Structure 1
Amino acid sequence: MPKMIFVNLPVADLKKSMAFYAAIGFVNNPHFTDDTAACMVWSETIHVMLLTHAKWRTFTARPIPDAGASEVMLALSLDDRAAVDAMNDTAAANGGTADINPVQEHGFMYGRDLTDPDGHVWEAFWMDPAVIPAD
């Protein structure tokens, strides 16, 4: 079995969050979805678990951060600059916020940051594979 990551995020409105993540390219896995949680799949190895606040509290007593706080920024690689721009535009059109930080333009790498409806920070980025050193 490949190593996988499951990012768990508390969300205020599960249906709204599911619609947001579907709009930016995630696919719902109904086997791990109910009225309290939804599994949204980015790739075979990257999944996001959207958890209602009540469900979140069954895992930890730590407080849910305010929507304006940043604890982590999650980065997703995309195929090209146009896909980065499209994800940011789609996020803004579906309840998120685009460009919460300055655009990252480094020539070989391009990134734009967005938030979901709950303020979770994501970076959509593209990097030119030709600049990655060969082993």
Structure 2
Amino acid sequence: MVTDLWINLPVKDIAKSKAFFTQIGFSLNTQHGNSDNSACLLVGQKNVVVMLFDEPTFKGFTNGEIADTKQASEVLLSIGVESKNEVDEIVQKAIAAGGVSKHTPGEMQGWMYGAVFTDLDGHKWNLLYMDYSKMSGS
């Protein structure tokens, strides 16, 4: 039986990435996974683990090349938040910390509100507030 899900991402600079993610509100797991080559982030109330590895270490795990995020999207990591204001706040924090957002926060399908930002290494993060009471069929 599957017990956990860990998301592993390659980054160019562990120190800069740690600073970026803590500035936008992610927690660092200071007991495990932190070294000169890695950082362990805990995301959300369920503490989903996002491991950041410097590119040489990540390549060693995957035995392959790293996707060029300037050319294409590798993945869209979606995070649920508690309010529309929280979507706006985190996007602004991401931009202030050096990230990019070309996506104006807005309503989608009448029951979702969200925005996308790109971190320092081009990974795309989707922030979503979902009002299930407005969802069709609820």
Name the TM-score, length of structure 2 as normaliser. Answer: 0.87
Distance in 2, matches of 1:5 and 1:21, equals: 19
1:71 paired to 2:61: no
Which digits, 9 at most, give the CA deviation of each residue in 1:9-38, with x for residues without a partner?
000010110111111121111222111110
Deviations 1:63-105 (A, max 9, x none): 111231211101000000000000100000001112x345441
**C-alpha contact 1:109 1:126 (8 A) present in aligned 2:** yes
Verify the 8 A CA contact 1:76 1:123 in the aligned structure 2.
Answer: yes
Structure 1: gaps spanning 5 or more residues: none
Q: Which residue of 2 aligns with 1:92?
A: 95
For the Cα contact (< 8 Å) 2:38–2:54, is it kept in 1? Answer: yes
Distance of 1:95 and 1:62 partners within structure 2: 28
Shift of 1:123: 0.3
**2:97 matched to 1:126?**
no
Aligned residues: 133
Q: Does 1:26 align with 2:26?
A: yes
Q: Distance in 2 between matches of 1:77 and 1:46?
A: 12
RMSD of the alignment, in Å? 2.0
| Contact 2:94 2:100 (C-alpha < 8 Å) held by counterparts | yes
Structure 2 unaligned residues grouped into runs of 5+: none
DSSP 3-state at the match of 2:63: coil
**Matched residues in 2 for 1:101 and 1:91: separation?**
13
Alignment partner for residue 50 of structure 1, among 49, 52, 55?
52
Residue 10 of structure 1 contacts residue 50 of structure 1 at CA under 8 Å; is this kept in 2? Answer: yes
Contact kept? 1:4, 1:45, Cα under 8 Å:
no
Q: Does the residue aligned with 1:65 lie in a helix, a strand or coil?
A: coil
Q: Is the 8 A contact 1:84 1:111 kept in 2?
A: yes
TM-score under structure 1 length normalisation = 0.88
